[in-house]
Structure 1
Amino acid sequence: MRLPRVKPEHAPYRLGDGTIRLGGALHGIASEITDADGWAWTALTLMNGTRSPTEIASGLRSRFPVLTGEDAEDIVETLLSSGHVEEADPSPCQELTAQEKDRYSRSREYFRWVDLTPRDHGWEPQVRIKTARVLVLGLGGSGSHAAWALATAGVGRLHLVDPDVVELSNLNRQLLYTEADIGRPKTEVALERLRQTNSGVDVTVEKVMVNRSEQLASLVDGFDVLALCADRPREPHGIQTWANRACAKAGIPWVSGGYNGPLISVGVFGPGGPCFECVRAGIPPQPGADYAWPGATSASAGLSGHLVAHDVLAFVTGTMTTPPGYFHGVTLLDPNGHVYARYASRPHCEVCS
């Protein structure tokens, strides 16, 4: 990093005991530094985009003669690697066109805020989205919203799979369809709408019912992430179990979303974490847990689909802050109803142990 500066959104503040907080406590990316001597605070103050790391370390030593050169360099390097600091004079990004930079400028601002990996120019997450290959299975309530969000985000290749046609009862919650589309295959309509939404995304479709585990294993081949928004066949031993095993064999992550009335729940699974079957085994059985209940609104379906898209993008960009292997979500009727469930891998699990 040539000219480091603290990201404006991560501006540090100091507590009475000298502890420094960076990143904002409410944003889920906060860090705390114990700094009784004021060394880190001084280094952060010097990181204003006008000094090199060597100059910052030199300035730190001049203010604190007790520090050795190695001490000062270590402090600076630790802060540079924290993710709360960015390059004030970024190198140019060659992988995106000027039009793409304009289109995704707000996305860049979002990712530079949440990304805790030091970058050269801040466009790296968007470049990864551009080269990503995502399979969306199911284009109903969750899937239609997820597909739209992934297309607008600029996912390079988006393959959509669904067996159904548009019905009138779909239109209270499924984003991509209108009354004029009733009777048409959902894949056909989704292809038209998403190409109109973002011509820079390679959208392909397949009108097929996935009714065998081997079929799903074949579908995920060649993709980076699976967005599973289909709920048939039901669990136990249904499509989520198939996805769990197919994606584990392929070595790719997957995200599964659905809604059970006011309960919106999304599963996030992938290499390095407990698998779906292990986490599911730890959750007490409850009615409707397989999302078999039909009640939904555009809001509940939209939340589910957009949480799926959010987690897919977190996998693609490398900005996921929690290792995979959990369910999360919200209960709409309870202001404190945050959902989070994680259980360790079972000792003899064939998939993840």
Structure 2
Amino acid sequence: MRLPRVKPEHAPHRFGDGTIRLGGVLYGIASEITDDDGCAWAVLNLMDGTRSPAEIAETLHSAFSAVLTRAEAVEIVDTLIASGHVEEAAPGPCAELSPREKDRYSRSKDYFRWVDLHPRDSGWEPQVRLKQARVLVLGLGGTGSHAAWSLAASGVGRLHLVDPDVVELSNLNRQLLYTEADVGRSKADVALARLREVNSDIEITAASATVDGPADLTRLVRGFDVLALCADRPREPDGIQSWANAVCAKAGIPWVSGGYNGPLVSVGVFGPGGPCFACVRAGIPPRPGADYAWPGVTGATAGLSGQLVAYDVVSLVTGLATTPPGYFHGVTLLDPDGHVYARHPARPDCEICS
């Protein structure tokens, strides 16, 4: 990093006992530093975008030579830069994105720079990863229509949409890609046309096709980086999520699956590096009557489901995911404290995890 500066959203605060807090506790990205001698506080104030890391370390060593060696000063500077609360004040060029793309995704960049805890050269690296990504969206109903829209708007470079159904009037309370004029038309065809109007800078394709078994799914996921599983048929047990669990594990790609059961909206994130869908699900007590995507849903609950799927796909693609795959999360909308999170270890006898 040439000219480090603390991100404005992560401005440090020093408490009376010498503890320093960076970032916001409410946003889940705060760090606390015990700084009895004031060295870290001095470095953070020197990181204003006008000095190189070497200059900061030298200034720190000069001010604290009684308690710090030069090597220790360099280590403190390097540690704070690596914390993710610091950005490059003089970002380098980004040839991978056109001026039009930089304008389109400028607000995305602002978001990524806030939440990204990896030091970057230009700040555009997460967006470039999205541009290079290939994502398969399977199912274009309540969850899938919202997820597909969000992924297209976010700038996923290659998006393939698959759904066998036609638009029905009862879909229109929640499936935002379709209008009354589309009733009776192929969802895949309509979604393709709508999303190309949303973002003409990416490649979008679609197919009106049914997935009848693991072999069909194996053919579909070939060549993609992530599967956004938004289809709900066939249902579990031994349904399409179980197929995805085995197929994606064999292909070595992550997958995200979302759904809703009345006011409960939840999403699962699975893939290399974490326990599989079957292991996490085995650790969750069965809920009588739970049948995701049926029967009650509104535009809001479907939208939350789809947007959470898109968010997790983007997090996987950009490398901004803070939790390794292998968990369910979501919200229970009628409970103010109803955050859902479930993660269970891999079973020793699991054929997929082992």
Q: Does the pair score TM above 0.5?
A: yes
- Structure 1's unaligned 5+ residue stretches are none
- Structure 2's unaligned 5+ residue stretches are none
TM superposition shift of 1:33: 1.1
CA distance in 1 between partners of 2:23 and 2:105 (Å): 23
Question: What is the aligned partner in structure 2 of residue 9 from structure 1?
Answer: 9
TM superposition shift of 1:30: 1.2
TM superposition shift of 1:18: 1.2
TM superposition shift of 1:91: 0.6
TM superposition shift of 1:31: 1.1
TM superposition shift of 1:96: 0.3
Relative to structure 2, which stretch is displaced further, 342-351 or 14-23?
14-23
Question: What is the aligned partner in structure 2 of residue 176 from structure 1?
Answer: 177
Amino acid at match of 1:89: A
Over 3 Å counting, the alpha-carbon distance change for 1:202 and 1:236 in structure 2 is same
CA distance in 2 between partners of 1:251 and 1:18 (Å): 46
CA distance in 2 between partners of 1:31 and 1:324 (Å): 23
Tell me the percent identity.
75
Amino acid at match of 1:42: A
Relative to structure 2, which stretch is displaced further, 314-323 or 24-33?
24-33
User: In 2, are the aligned partners of 1:231 and 1:290 still within 8 Å (CA)?
Assistant: no
SS at match of 1:96: coil
Amino acid at match of 1:202: E
User: In 2, are the aligned partners of 1:168 and 1:182 still within 8 Å (CA)?
Assistant: yes
User: In 2, are the aligned partners of 1:279 and 1:344 still within 8 Å (CA)?
Assistant: yes
Amino acid at match of 1:157: R
TM superposition shift of 1:218: 1.4
User: In 1, are the aligned partners of 2:259 and 2:293 still within 8 Å (CA)?
Assistant: no
Residue correspondences, number = 353
TM superposition shift of 1:44: 0.6
Question: What is the aligned partner in structure 2 of residue 83 from structure 1?
Answer: 84
Question: What is the aligned partner in structure 1 of residue 213 from structure 2?
Answer: 212
User: In 2, are the aligned partners of 1:260 and 1:288 still within 8 Å (CA)?
Assistant: no
Question: What is the aligned partner in structure 2 of residue 134 from structure 1?
Answer: 135
Amino acid at match of 2:15: L
Amino acid at match of 1:141: G
CA distance in 1 between partners of 2:290 and 2:23 (Å): 36
Amino acid at match of 2:28: G
- Following superposition of structure 1 onto structure 2, how do residues 224-239 of structure 1 map, counting pairs within 5 Å? 224-239=225-240
CA distance in 2 between partners of 1:341 and 1:36 (Å): 38
Question: What is the aligned partner in structure 2 of residue 254 from structure 1?
Answer: 255
CA distance in 1 between partners of 2:224 and 2:25 (Å): 35
Question: What is the aligned partner in structure 2 of residue 221 from structure 1?
Answer: 222
Deviating beyond 6 angstroms after TM superposition, the runs of 4 or more aligned structure 1 residues are none
Amino acid at match of 2:56: I
TM superposition shift of 1:61: 1.1
- Following superposition of structure 1 onto structure 2, how do residues 18-97 of structure 1 map, counting pairs within 5 Å? 18-65=18-65, 66-97=67-98
User: In 1, are the aligned partners of 2:144 and 2:306 still within 8 Å (CA)?
Assistant: yes
TM superposition shift of 1:287: 2.7
TM superposition shift of 1:114: 0.7
TM-score w.r.t. the length of structure 1 is: 0.99
CA distance in 1 between partners of 2:238 and 2:28 (Å): 35
Amino acid at match of 1:295: G
TM-score w.r.t. the length of structure 2 is: 0.99
SS at match of 2:260: strand
